[in-house]
Amino acid sequence: MKITIQLLRHIAEKYYDEIYKYCFNHVNSEHDAYDLTQEVFLALGSSFETIEYKYIRQWLYSTAHNIVVDYYKHKRRDTENVIPLDEALDKVESVPDTSDEISDEDNIDEEETEKYKSMILEKLTPTERRLYDEAFVRKTSYGDIAAMYGINETALRKRISRLRIKIIKIVKKLLYQ
């Protein structure tokens, strides 16, 4: 059964609190959770004619998940620039410098870069190393990598995002602790 306009109010009354709690548990902010929940139900309003009623709960949770993921992507873009490992290692200082100017002596040379790179890659699982190699070294397209792993492109992008975050954490741990 397709969703009609009359069912939209019933769906909102039935699932609004549930979706709000889901969003709140993921963002831990009342204001942001209300905004994200509103986005879910706005999306429902624009897509309701294509959704089967028996799948509505799944659709709401799937949409809420995607909206929460987008929320964190935008939030991260606002607070952090993610760059590939090779670029990061070329730019990272070996000792934190308190001055505004960075001298050539403070930069990591090629030998140190390779040392850190191998230390970082050792901390990755074999699957993560293969993914790193395909995505960042060989620069294989996401579609081709997804086909190699037998997953869809969205799942691959999520894996690559997690890999970037893991690498950044490893770099920070190696260099600043």
How many angstroms separate the CA atoms of 136 and 95, rounded?
Answer: 26
Q: Which amino acid is at 175?
A: L
How buried is residue 15: exposed, middle or buried, by Cβ count under 10 Å (0-12/13-18/19+)?
buried
The CATH T-level fold of domain 5-79 is: Rna Polymerase Sigma Factor; Chain: A (1.10.1740)
**Beta carbons within 10 angstroms of residue 132's beta carbon:** 21
Token readout for 151 is 């997953």
10 Å CB burial of residue 76 (0-12, 13-18, 19+) is: middle
How far, in Å, CA of 136 to CA of 160, rounded?
10
Mean pLDDT over residues 25-50, rounded?
Answer: 88
> What would the pLDDT profile of 127-147 be if each residue is shown by its tens digit?
888 888 888 888 888 888 988
Q: What pLDDT is attached to residue 16?
A: 94
Residue ranges covered by each domain of the chain:
5-79, 85-97+104-176
Which pLDDT score, from 0 to 100, does residue 93 have? 43
Please give the pLDDT value at position 104. 46
Fold of the 85-97+104-176 domain: Arc Repressor Mutant, subunit A (1.10.10)
Considering only CA atoms, which of 6, 8, 170, 177 is closest in space to residue 89? 170
**Residues 90-141: tens digit of each pLDDT:** 554 443 444 444 444 444 456 666 777 788 888 888 888 888 888 888 888 8
Radius of gyration over alpha carbons of the chain, in Å? 22
Q: Provide the pLDDT for residue 113.
A: 63
Whether pLDDT at 89 is above 70: no
Cα–Cα distance measured from residue 160 to residue 135, given in angstroms and rounded to the nearest whole number:
8
The dihedral formed by the CA atoms of 76, 165, 85 and 129, expressed in degrees to the nearest 10: -150
How big is the chain, counted in residues?
Answer: 177
Which residue type, as a one-letter code, is found at position 76? R
Amino acid in the structure at residue 51: I
Give the pLDDT score at 9: 83
Residue 93 β-bridge partners: 107
Q: What are phi and psi of 23, to 5 degrees?
A: -65, -45
